[in-house]
Amino acid sequence: MSNRAMRVLFAIVDGGGNVPPQLAVARELHKRGVDVRIIGHSGIAERVQKARIPFETFSNGRHFDPTTPRPLPAMMFDFAQLAADRNLGRSITEAAQRFGAHAVVADTMLVGALPEVERTGVPTIVFVHCFYRAVQDLAAGPVGWFLRARGIDPRFAERRGLLQIVSARKDLDPLRGTPPVSHIGVTWQGTPAAAVPATVPRILVSLSTNAFAGQRRMLQNILDAMETLPVEATLTVGPSIDASGLRVPANTDVHTWLDHDEVLATASLVVGHGGHSTAMRALSFGVPQVIMPANPMIDQKRVGASLRDQGVGVLLAKYARPEKIRAAIEAVLRDPSYRENAARLGEDIRRRDGAAVAADIIGEHVRASAPT
């Protein structure tokens, strides 16, 4: 089957950092001549339309908006309900049948939808946007218990032998065992290049687009930590944090949104929450990091620990005091080994975009699955 004869449907949850890598792979397939469609929550519509890929919203199932402020337990409960939603599977299968899809690439969060999609016989590929260890942890924890109580196997994809594409570096992923998954490496956001640090150290501060409880307090602690430092800081607050009322020091510029590539090109450091997408984007520019996980129930601690173990960052507690944050920033800026280690990993990441690797794998899988 040629690329131009191939039709691939992506099913994507509005979950924040899960969207950029999946959209990057969809764009790469589209660039190769594959007919690509995306179905998902309405919150991702604008980003998909900017990529000039046809889009439709889920016709059935739960709505999910990650920017709605709520306590962490409530957010995780909403996420568990989303993961258990079989109605989303019906929406995806109806779209796949209308489209005549040769494959469905389903977000790893759509656990309850997977059996419905697989039953159609259309090759079903699962896209994992984070460390696979995070999938293993969720299956073994409260979310997994919730799913099993509703008759859903959180390890369905693995037990059924579905192709699982993991948008992460295998050497950074603290896997448990040897699961049969395909690590594609980091999918680029923009076009990364080796950062050339500005004369005055430039720091990018970016917490999650998701409304994790306590992020405003975290942010104020970070701002207070930087107030007396000889740095220039750029803060992006995104849709989930109201910047009004924050005490912003004179050395910090605040933006609701900014293309991080513009800052990373001359950055000396990123202070972030440990979201896989943001952390890997910084690493692709060879920029070291200070990680403060905003949600201890998902992968952010794992990401921070992995970067710490690679010598490219410092891992702090969510509510670390300003003096501790300041000491961590000074340590990373003072010790050249952090930047040297980050530069080494960044150079390796820039050798090939993970989106191209994923497009190769998906194309081969569809051709191998096509009737002869």
pLDDT tens by residue, 156-181: 999 999 999 999 999 999 999 999 99
As a whole number, mean pLDDT of residues 178-195 equals: 94
User: Is residue 197 a part of any domain in this protein?
Assistant: no
**Same domain (yes/no): 298, 246:** yes
Residue 242: band (very low, low, confident or very high) from pLDDT cuts 50, 70, 90: confident
135 within 8 A of 162, measured Cβ to Cβ:
no
As a whole number, mean pLDDT of residues 235-240 equals: 79
Q: What is the pLDDT of residue 120?
A: 92
pLDDT tens by residue, 349-363: 999 999 999 999 999
**Same domain (yes/no): 332, 364:** no
pLDDT tens by residue, 257-291: 788 888 999 999 999 999 999 999 999 999 999 99
As a whole number, mean pLDDT of residues 244-255 equals: 90
**Same domain (yes/no): 361, 343:** no
Q: What is the pLDDT of residue 40?
A: 95
Q: What is the pLDDT of residue 320?
A: 95
Q: What is the pLDDT of residue 190?
A: 87
As a whole number, mean pLDDT of residues 95-120 equals: 95
The answer to whether residue 239 scores a pLDDT higher than 90 is no
**Same domain (yes/no): 27, 170:** yes
The answer to whether residue 215 scores a pLDDT higher than 90 is no
The answer to whether residue 5 scores a pLDDT higher than 90 is no
User: Is residue 162 a part of any domain in this protein?
Assistant: yes
User: Is residue 264 a part of any domain in this protein?
Assistant: yes
Q: What is the pLDDT of residue 289?
A: 98
**Same domain (yes/no): 238, 160:** no
Residue 246: band (very low, low, confident or very high) from pLDDT cuts 50, 70, 90: confident
Greater model confidence, 5 or 193: 193
Listed residue (262, 216, 218, 220) closest to 242, CA to CA: 216
**Same domain (yes/no): 116, 259:** no
pLDDT tens by residue, 326-349: 999 999 999 999 999 999 999 999
Quote the mean pLDDT of the chain: 93
User: Is residue 196 a part of any domain in this protein?
Assistant: no
User: Is residue 224 a part of any domain in this protein?
Assistant: yes
The answer to whether residue 213 scores a pLDDT higher than 80 is no
User: Is residue 192 a part of any domain in this protein?
Assistant: no
Q: What is the pLDDT of residue 292?
A: 95
Number of domains forming the structure of the chain = 2
As a whole number, mean pLDDT of residues 60-80 equals: 85
Residue 36: band (very low, low, confident or very high) from pLDDT cuts 50, 70, 90: very high
Q: What is the pLDDT of residue 208?
A: 73
Q: What is the pLDDT of residue 257?
A: 77
Residue 214: band (very low, low, confident or very high) from pLDDT cuts 50, 70, 90: confident
Q: What is the pLDDT of residue 211?
A: 64
Q: What is the pLDDT of residue 244?
A: 79
- pTM confidence score: 0.93
* Percentage of the chain lying above the pLDDT 70 cut: 99
CATH number where 183 lies? 3.40.50.2000
**Same domain (yes/no): 364, 297:** no
Residue 223: band (very low, low, confident or very high) from pLDDT cuts 50, 70, 90: very high
**Same domain (yes/no): 226, 122:** no
As a whole number, mean pLDDT of residues 82-104 equals: 95
**Same domain (yes/no): 11, 155:** yes
User: Is residue 195 a part of any domain in this protein?
Assistant: no
User: Is residue 247 a part of any domain in this protein?
Assistant: yes
**Same domain (yes/no): 345, 357:** no
The answer to whether residue 15 scores a pLDDT higher than 70 is yes
As a whole number, mean pLDDT of residues 240-269 equals: 87
**Same domain (yes/no): 33, 167:** yes
The answer to whether residue 372 scores a pLDDT higher than 70 is no
Residue-number span of the structural domain to which 37 is assigned: 3-187+353-369
**Same domain (yes/no): 229, 144:** no
